[in-house]
Every structure is written in C-alpha cells, then in structure tokens.
C-alpha cells in the first residue's frame, strides 16, 4: 500500500467510525450516553436563558457595568436549608411585585429541570 492509499483508507475508516457514533445519536436523541441528570440540567439551562436571563443577567451597559434588574442567582441554592429552598421555589412559582410568577409557564417536570440547573449555579 502506498502512503497516499494508506492515508485515504485511514480517512475513510475514521469517517465511518465517526458516522457510526453520530448517526444513532441523531436518530434517537433519547438514547444518548449522557446521564439523565445532565440532560435535565441542559433543559433547565435553556428554560433559564429563555425566561429568567432577561432580568437576572447583566445587560450590556456603559463601561461594561453589570446592571441586572434582579439579583444575581449564582449560589442561590448552595447549602440551603429545606425551608429556604421552599421560599425560593415559591418565589419562582408566585413571583413578586417586581418579578412575574411562573406557576403556569412550566410543567412540574420543566420546573424541576430549571431547579436542577439553578443548583449548578
């Protein structure tokens, strides 16, 4: 086998191996190897960016100042007591005069996805 034939053969083998990995993932995303908890936090992250980031992440303002409307939520669930977790969950569900409530926005499963993501912050 010449060097260039060998290279082509290797390239084809690599492409086939890659296709074998990629095709089933695309065909059935539910059966990917990622653990369920990772999928959950990914879905929760999407919800967060869709519904919460507007107020809870900094806007681009003059001099690169962080100026969100709501408080920064990093660590909001770090080492919390069950009582505090309940308060935070209720805030998200019911809102406040300055924050909309989301009890009719998310299904219970979607809400748990969101909470799972927020616990990673």
Residues making contact with ligand HEC (CB under 6 A): 51-52, 54-56, 69-71, 73, 76, 88, 91-92, 96, 98-100, 102
Q: Could you tell me the smallest distance in angstroms from the CB atom of residue 86 to ligand HEC?
A: 12
Output 39 or 105, the one with its CB closest to ligand HEC: 105
Cβ closer to ligand HEC: 58 or 100? 100
Q: Which is nearer to ligand HEC, 52 or 116 (CB)?
A: 52
In angstroms, give the least distance from the CB of 44 to ligand HEC: 9
CB closer to ligand HEC out of 25 and 59: 59
B/e letters for 14-28, b = 16+ CB within 10 Å, e = fewer, are eeeeeeeeeeeeeee
Residue 12 CA from chain centroid, whole number = 35
Smallest gap from Cβ 7 to ligand HEC, in A, equals 52
DSSP letters spanning 53-111: HHHHS----GGG----SS---TTTTTT--HHHHHHHHHHHHH-BTTB---TTTS-HHHH
């Amino acid at each position: 086998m010449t060097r260039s034939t060998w290279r082509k053969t290797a390239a084809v083998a690599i492409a086939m191996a890659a296709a074998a990995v990629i095709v089933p993932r695309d065909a059935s995303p539910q059966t990917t190897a990622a653990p369920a908890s990772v999928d959950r936090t990914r879905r929760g992250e999407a919800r967060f960016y869709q519904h919460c980031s507007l107020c809870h992440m900094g806007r681009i303002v003059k001099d690169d100042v962080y100026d969100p409307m709501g408080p920064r939520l990093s660590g909001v669930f770090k080492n919390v007591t069950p009582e505090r977790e309940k308060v935070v969950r209720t805030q998200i569900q019911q809102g406040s005069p300055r924050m909309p409530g989301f009890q009719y926005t998310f299904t219970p499963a979607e809400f748990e996805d969101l909470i799972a993501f927020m616990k990673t912050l």
